[in-house]
């Protein structure tokens, strides 16, 4: 095997609790990760040595600061494999809370395992991936998982959050470090861990309990986010939320036709994408 063509999927958070700040400066979270069919595309091809990276966007660095290149270097350090050519076609918006960079890194780890026929488990790849980013371990197995810790304590679940997902991506960059830095008032409040898993197993899911704690920070600072969320609900979404720390807002619709109808209200002003959960 000398080359591979791979999908690198996006994710959303169905509910996101920020539990507390850790001694290492990171924060413990509690969330449901839902992987989506919406994806970037990555082509891998063997080389004798080194990593050659190219992309259809000009804002990604091509040197060893690139997350895909870092993923390759991690695999070289761990398993002594050879070189690779990486061609990345980006569709997932940057800085939107959809995990695009983390997904790309995880897809490189999994792709190199296949390309070089390595006897490496998913669990081993998750450990390697954690050094690249907190969301990278999730994308090793993907689909639907409960996430705790910084997102690396994962529990795959069979129940997926079904529906047609409309993603609305405003032209806003919300700095994740800023968002976490503003969380102090939230963390000072006593809060219990929400039983997300128990709720999604109910016949009628009580989505009103699936809050994203970042919305209390992001919406006052960026009122447009709240307006998009409210508009999604008005146009028929049974659930709407910010993903991660933003800036993408998503709505879950029962029918594809309803999602397409709602999309017409946003597509002239924002980047929009209609997708479904991965199965």
Give the chain's domain count.
2
Tell whether 138 and 270 lie within a shared domain: no
Task: Indicate which CATH number applies to the domain containing 226.
Answer: 3.30.70.890
Could you tell me the CATH number of the domain that includes residue 49? Answer: 3.30.230.10
* Mean pLDDT value across residues 26-32: 90
Choosing from 74, 110, 135, 229, the catalytic residue is 135
The pLDDT value recorded for residue 13 is 95
**Continuous segment of H or E residues that includes residue 84:** strand 83-89
Q: Give yes or no: residues 76 and 146 share one domain.
A: yes
CA dist 229 and 6 (Å) reads: 32
Q: Could you confirm whether 143 is annotated as catalytic?
A: no
Q: What is the pLDDT of residues 74-102, one digit of tens each?
A: 999 999 999 999 999 999 998 889 999 99
Long-range pairs of 108-113 with CB within 8 A, sequence gap ≥ 24? 108/42, 108/44, 108/68, 108/71, 108/72, 108/75, 109/71, 109/74, 109/75, 109/136, 109/140, 110/6, 110/140, 111/4, 111/6, 111/42, 111/44, 112/44, 112/71, 112/72, 112/75, 112/81, 112/84, 113/75
Q: What's the pLDDT tens digit per position in 46-73?
A: 999 999 999 999 988 888 899 999 999 9
Which of 156, 191, 225 finishes a domain? 156
Same domain, 121 and 251: no
122 is catalytic: no
| Six token digits for residue 141 | 């197995």
Q: Does 216 share its domain with 140?
A: no
pLDDT in tens, 143-200: 999 999 989 999 999 888 889 999 999 998 888 888 888 887 666 665 677 777 776 7
Distances in Å between the Cα of 88 and the Cα atoms of 72, 108, 122 are 14, 10, 23
pLDDT at 99: 95
Please indicate, yes or no, whether residues 117 and 253 belong to a single structural domain of this protein.
Answer: no
- CB contact burial 13-51 (16+ within 10 A = b; e otherwise): bbbbbbeeeeeeeebebbbbbbbbebbbebebebeeeeb
Residues 232 and 176 in one domain: yes
**DSSP designation for 168:** E
Q: Tokens 């895909």 sit at which residue?
A: 68
Q: Which domain holds residue 30?
A: 3-156
Q: Do 41 and 176 have their domain in common? A: no
Is 142 or 210 the better-scoring residue by pLDDT? 142
CB contact at 8 A, 38 and 91: yes
Shared-domain flag, residues 146 and 171: no
Domain boundary among 97, 124, 156: 156
Last residue of a domain, one of 105, 133, 156: 156
Q: Are residues 106 and 231 in the same domain?
A: no
Rounded distance between C-alpha atoms, residue 20 and residue 27, angstroms = 6
**Other beta carbons less than 10 A from residue 3's beta carbon:** 13
CB of 144 closer than 8 Å to CB of 12: no
Greatest alpha-carbon pair distance for the chain in Å reads 56
Q: Is 117 left (phi over 0), alpha (psi -120 to 50) or beta?
A: left
Residues 111 and 247 in one domain: no
Question: Residue 43: in which H helix or E strand, if any?
Answer: strand 27-47
Together in a domain, 82 and 213:
no
Please indicate, yes or no, whether residues 122 and 75 belong to a single structural domain of this protein: yes
Beta bridge partners of 43: 5, 87
Q: 127 by DSSP, 3-state: which?
A: helix
What is the per-residue pLDDT for 117? 96
């Amino acid at each position: 095997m000398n080359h591979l063509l791979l999908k690198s999927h996006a994710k959303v958070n169905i509910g996101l609790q920020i539990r507390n700040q850790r001694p290492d400066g990171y924060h413990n979270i509690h969330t449901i990760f839902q992987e989506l069919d919406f994806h970037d595309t990555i082509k891998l091809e063997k080389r004798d040595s080194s990593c050659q990276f190219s992309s259809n966007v000009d804002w990604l660095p091509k040197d060893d600061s690139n997350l895909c290149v870092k993923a390759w270097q991690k695999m070289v350090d761990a398993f002594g494999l050879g070189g690779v050519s990486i061609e990345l076609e980006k569709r997932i918006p940057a800085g939107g809370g959809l995990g695009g960079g983390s997904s790309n890194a995880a897809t490189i780890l999994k792709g190199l395992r296949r390309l070089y026929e390595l006897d490496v488990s998913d669990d081993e790849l998750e450990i390697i991936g954690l050094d690249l980013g907190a969301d990278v371990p999730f994308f090793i197995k993907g689909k639907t998982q409960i996430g705790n810790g910084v997102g690396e304590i994962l529990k795959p679940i069979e129940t997926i959050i079904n529906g047609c997902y409309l993603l609305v991506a405003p032209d806003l960059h919300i700095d994740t470090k800023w968002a976490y830095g503003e969380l102090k008032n939230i963390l000072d409040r006593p809060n219990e861990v929400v039983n997300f898993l128990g709720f999604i197993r109910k016949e009628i899911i009580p989505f009103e309990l699936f809050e994203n704690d970042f919305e209390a920070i992001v919406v006052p600072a960026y009122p447009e986010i709240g307006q998009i969320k409210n508009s999604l609900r008005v146009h028929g979404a049974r659930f709407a939320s910010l993903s991660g720390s933003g800036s993408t807002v998503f709505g879950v619709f029962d029918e594809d036709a309803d999602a397409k109808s709602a999309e017409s209200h946003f597509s002239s002003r924002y980047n929009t994408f209609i997708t479904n959960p991965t199965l």
